[in-house]
Every structure is written in structure tokens, then in C-alpha cells.
Amino acid sequence: MLDNIRIVMINTFHPGNIGAAARALKNMGLNQLCLVDPREFPHEEAESRAAGAKDLLEQATVVSTVEEAIADCQLVIGTSARQRSFDQPLMDAEQAAGMITDEARSGQVAILFGRETMGLTNEEMMLCHRHLFIDANEDYPVLNIAQAIQLVCYELRRASKQTEALPEPAPYPRQHEMTLFHEHLEKTLHRTGFIIPQHEGRVMDKLRRYFNRTRPEKAELGMLRGILTSVEEALEREAHDPTLDRSPQGGANKT
Amino acid sequence: MLDNIRIVMINTFHPGNIGAAARALKNMGLNQLCLVDPREFPHEEAESRAAGAKDLLEQATVVSTVEEAIADCQLVIGTSARQRSFDQPLMDAEQAAGMITDEARSGQVAILFGRETMGLTNEEMMLCHRHLFIDANEDYPVLNIAQAIQLVCYELRRASKQTEALPEPAPYPRQHEMTLFHEHLEKTLHRTGFIIPQHEGRVMDKLRRYFNRTRPEKAELGMLRGILTSVEEALEREAHDPTLDRSPQGGANKT
């Protein structure tokens, strides 16, 4: 189950932190490290800090965008130093670990860690289904990124010992399917006039948060996509229906 | 209560680890860092890795021996990467944190961390009342020292939220009192002939472990010291008693 959990480090500045993170993962029995656009990698400082976990460095995936890092994941967790207020439900590391190990029985889960200086951007936070924070000293809650990764992996290991190992059928769609759905949804809402070009961003942000929070299952997503398609097809039919009265007074009424 | 917990780093090789440890402490609300004979300190690498915890570096105590580091402590916990077999009861980080925060209400507690390469020596392990291990991957259980400190501090913070804050009267003696007792005991056992010079080390080791495990309270230690004193005084009296028959056949019998 720990094999299905991917630790994603975005735009890491210090290669030493990447090495320390690799070691932190291996110490806790994880093995998936994904680096999104690291500033310097490979680097001897990463090798050095990885110590006995150089194999994880070699196996690490390096990609250019966050979307690539999470495309095949059914659950995406964002981390932050502070309890930032978004709509995604907020959990401490222990709570999140329970949810993550549970889902990791049936599919891939990604946990996103941001830049040393500023963590994750708002956009990256909104890609996530849930947010995780590490309970820390209010006077100084910002942990070193490799330390934060160590704590999260520690909680994951602990939770994995309590979670039943039986695999479950995977009910959730993967991130790239959700991305396609959001694109489809946006296009459809433009066509229906629900989205006006001036306010486009806010509506889609709100909808994205809604779907991240409620997490439609595969079958449900199938229904939602079917609904969108039916709306589009209905609009197509009406657009080409010769019997409709298109006079300004009549509206789109059939004569 | 976290204020009464002292993190002790023995013979640390990399100053970066000292800085990272200081940050780890402050992130979790602790503030006592004690360095026993660090290889290089102060050092700019420690400053750099400490980030927002430079104040803890400045306040850190630097001593030459472990004994100095723990003299005023009523509870001393040793850490190890592996579940080494000694007589001291072994606990994982979570269990130990419960005991530590409980005792920290009434006195000082020290947690010892050893060298990057080899952890604590056997002698240092035997100074401890209890041993703590961090549950980790059996294939690679050796954490970076600052990471281990981070995890322990994290568990301490968690436990402190669950422990009642009411201070209790301190029932346990401090380490230096126990050290004096052991010296007194050893001297007395030499005098009684219980310790023969050839086997001296093993008897005292076993006794030290016994007292570390059972942890006499202050009053009990008072009694034990009183017993030792009475034995010495009795031996003194007999040595100078003119009425005793000291002939080889008679033994030390009064005539």
C-alpha cells in the first residue's frame, strides 16, 4: 500500500533537500519520489544527503509540470505550513494518513510539497482534493521541507500498520479524467451562457473545488459527462431545428 | 512541560545537523538543546540550517561529557535506530513521548541522540532509564539524526496536548544523586567483598541497569543510602572491636 503513494516535490531549490527526502521516504518504507521542475538535479549534494537511499534518487521521476506528476492519481493531497483557508477539507497529518493509506489500497495517491520559500501556489492547492497541515508551534510553524516529508511518511507508515491490507475495487477516477471533465464542463457552460467571459475564472474555480471536495466516483463521473454530452447535443439540435421560432419576441420556442 | 525536555546531541559530526535539529525543536515548541563535545560548533552551516531557530542555537548548552548534560535530570532516555537488546525497557517514540511529557511536569528529562555513524555507545545506553526506538523500514532503519529528532519532538508535542498540565511533586532523584549512590554502592560492595576486583565491571553494570529500570524514588534512594552507610559503619565498628576473636579458627565472632 505504501508503494502506491507518491511524494511530489515542486520546484525544490536545494538539492540537499531532495536527497534528505529520498532518505526520509526509504526510512519509512515508501519508494515513489517525483520531482517537478527541480532547480538542480541530479546533484552531488542530493547524493550525499540520500545516504543509503540513492536507489530512490535514481528511480525518482522528473517532470516539468504538476499535472504530469498527478495525472494517474485518484487522490491528490496538498500540504501547507499554515492552516490556510480554502474549501478543501483540512486535516492534520495523522488524519490524512488514515485516508491516504486507505485509498492507496486501490490506486495512486499523490502528496504535494511546495517550494522552500513559499510552499504551494494557490493554483496547486486547488488541484488537490484535501489539504494536510502538520501541527506545529504557532510561533514558528514552517518546517524544512525534508523534515515535513519525514513526518508525513512517518504517519503514513503508522497508518499503514492499522489499515487493512485487502485491496478494494477502485471507485475513483484518475486526475487526468477529472481534468478532461473540467474542460468539457467549462466548454459546455460557455455554450449555455452560464459562464460569461468576464467571470469565467471564478465559476470554474468554485466548481473545481466542489468536485475536489465531493469526489465523484467513476460511475458518477460517467453520468456527469453523459449529462454534459446530452446538453451539448440538445443545444446542437436546437441550433439546427428549422421549426424553432427565432424571432426576438418568440424566443427559442417551437412553432 | 515541553520546556523541561532537553534534547542532547553527542559528538555530532556535521554542524548542519545541529542547525536542522534546532529548527526541528522550535517547530515543535521545544527549546532546550544541549551539545556534548560537538566536532564543530558554532559554524555557519548550523546557522544556515537553523533558519528561524537561531535563538535556540545561541541558547544551546555546550558541555564536554554526557554526565554534565544529564546531571540535573530525573529521567534519561536513550535513542537507537535498531531495537538493541539491553535490560532497559524499550518503547517506540509514541509510547516514550507519553512517559516523557508526564514526567516533564515535575522535572527535567533528557533525550540522548548519538553520533551520525554509530549512535550511542553501550556505556551511554546504560546511563539511561529507558530506550526509545523509531519504528522504521527494517531494510533501512537508520534515520538522519536531525530527522530522528524531528520525529521525537513531533511525538512530544502530540503527547503534550494529551497530558494533563497539572504539576506533580517530583518523586524521583536527579541523575547526579544516582551517580553518587552508585559510587557509594560500589565502594561498599568492595568493602563487603561482594565485588571481587576481577569481576567488578559486570556487577556494577547489572546493578546500574537494575536501578535504572526500577527507578527508586527520592525517599527510597534515601533509604538505600542509609543502608549503605549503616553497612559501612557496622564494618568500621567490627574492624575496631577489641572483643572480636580474630583468630583464623574463630572467624569474626565475639568472645
Q: What is the DSSP string of B206-251?
A: HHHHHHHHH---HHHHHHHHHHHHHHHHHHHHHHT-TTEE-STTT-
Q: Does B142 contact A53 at a Cβ distance shorter than 8 Å?
A: no
Transcribe B24-78 into DSSP letters: HHHHTT--EEEEES-SS-S-HHHHHHHGGGHHHHHH-EEESSHHHHHTTEEEEEE
Residues 106-135 of A with CB under 8 A from B: 134-135
Q: What pLDDT does residue A156 have?
A: 97
**Closest Cα in chain A, distance from residue B27 (Å):** 5
B54 CB near a chain A CB, below 8 Å?
no
Place of cell 532547480: A39
A158 CB near a chain B CB, below 8 Å?
yes
Instruction: Locate the chain B residue with the closest alpha carbon to A157.
Output: B136
User: Reduced to 3 states, what is the DSSP secondary structure of residue B90?
Assistant: strand
The model's pLDDT over A11-53, given as tens digits with 9 standing for 90+, comes to 999 999 999 999 999 999 999 999 999 999 999 999 999 999 9
Instruction: Locate the chain B residue with the closest alpha carbon to A24.
Output: B143
Burial environment of residue A65 by CB neighbours within 10 A (0 to 12, 13 to 18, 19 or more): exposed
Q: Does B147 contact A147 at a Cβ distance shorter than 8 Å?
A: yes
Query: Which of A26, A140, A147 lies nearest to residue B150, judging by beta carbons?
Result: A147
Give this complex's ipTM: 0.80
Place of cell 556487577: B203
Q: What pLDDT does residue B255 have?
A: 45
How far, in Å, CA of A238 to CA of A253, rounded? 10
Say if CB A93 and CB A152 are below 8 A apart: yes
**Comparing C-alpha atoms, which of B172, B202, B170 is closest to residue B186?**
B202
Query: Chain A contacts of B135, Cβ < 8 Å?
Result: 157-158
Which structural domains are found in chain A, ordered by start?
A: 2-163 (3.40.1280.10), 175-240 (1.10.8.590)
Q: Return the exposure string of A92-122: e unless at least 16 CB atoms fall within 10 Å of the residue's CB, then b.
A: ebbebbbbbbbbbbbbbbbbbbbbbeebbee
- Give the cell for residue A155: 504517519
Place of cell 498527478: A70
Q: Does A151 contact B154 at a Cβ distance shorter than 8 Å?
A: yes
- E strand or H helix at A46: helix A44-50
The rounded Cα A89 to chain-centroid distance in angstroms is 13
Q: What pLDDT does residue A87 have?
A: 66
Q: Does A49 contact B137 at a Cβ distance shorter than 8 Å?
A: no
A5 CB near a chain B CB, below 8 Å?
no
* Beta strands B253-254; A73-80: pairing state: unpaired
Query: Chain B contacts of A117, Cβ < 8 Å?
Result: none
Rounded-to-10 torsion of CA A203, A209, A210, A215: 140
The model's pLDDT over A43-82, given as tens digits with 9 standing for 90+, comes to 999 999 999 999 999 999 999 999 999 999 999 999 987 7
Q: What pLDDT does residue A226 have?
A: 86
B56 CB near a chain A CB, below 8 Å?
no
Q: How many Cα atoms are found within 13 Å in the side-chain-facing hemisphere of B106?
A: 15
B136 CB near a chain A CB, below 8 Å?
yes
Place of cell 553497612: B231
Query: Chain B contacts of A29, Cβ < 8 Å?
Result: 136-137, 139
Q: What pLDDT does residue A167 have?
A: 63
Those residues of chain B that have pLDDT short of 50 are 251, 253-255
Per-residue pLDDT of chain A (255 residues; tens, 9 = 90+): 899 999 999 999 999 999 999 999 999 999 999 999 999 999 999 999 999 999 999 999 999 999 999 999 999 999 987 766 666 788 999 999 999 999 999 899 999 999 999 999 999 999 999 999 999 999 999 999 999 999 999 999 999 998 766 666 668 999 999 999 999 998 988 888 888 877 667 788 888 888 888 888 888 898 888 888 888 888 888 778 777 666 665 544 444
Say if CB B33 and CB B25 are below 8 A apart: yes
Q: What pLDDT does residue B165 have?
A: 64
